[in-house]
């Protein structure tokens, strides 16, 4: 019998399947497509006026790591930061 590490179900999936799941999660907003933060955030010695964050679909991917039986997820982020009274 296979060693499942104590789990009842073990599945083997391909990288392309994991990438499809990530894209579907972004489209359904499980992984946010973006957000705007209007509360001040410390950005170095300055405070922000507004921060707009976008998670583009291009670059969203997974890397399978069989040696550690894990997955590394790459989530690209684009940020537009407006500083208070520069």
pTM: 0.69
Residue 1 has what pLDDT?
59
State whether residue 39 is helix, strand or coil: coil
Helices marked H in 1-86 — which ranges?
15-27
Residue 30 has what pLDDT?
93
pLDDT in tens, the chain (86 residues): 567 777 777 678 899 999 999 999 999 999 999 999 989 999 889 999 999 999 999 999 999 998 988 899 999 999 999 999 86
Q: What are 31's two structure tokens?
A: 């992984």
Residues 6+ apart with CB under 8 A from 22: 31, 60, 61, 62, 73
């Amino acid at each position: 019998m296979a060693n499942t590490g104590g789990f009842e179900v073990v599945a083997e999936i391909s990288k392309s399947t994991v990438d499809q799941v990530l894209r579907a999660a972004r489209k359904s907003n499980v992984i946010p497509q973006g957000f705007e933060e209007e509360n001040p955030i410390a950005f170095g010695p300055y405070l922000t006026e507004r921060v707009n964050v976008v998670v583009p679909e291009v670059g969203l991917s997974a890397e399978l790591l069989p040696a550690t039986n894990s997955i590394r997820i790459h989530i690209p982020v684009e940020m537009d930061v407006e500083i208070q009274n520069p």
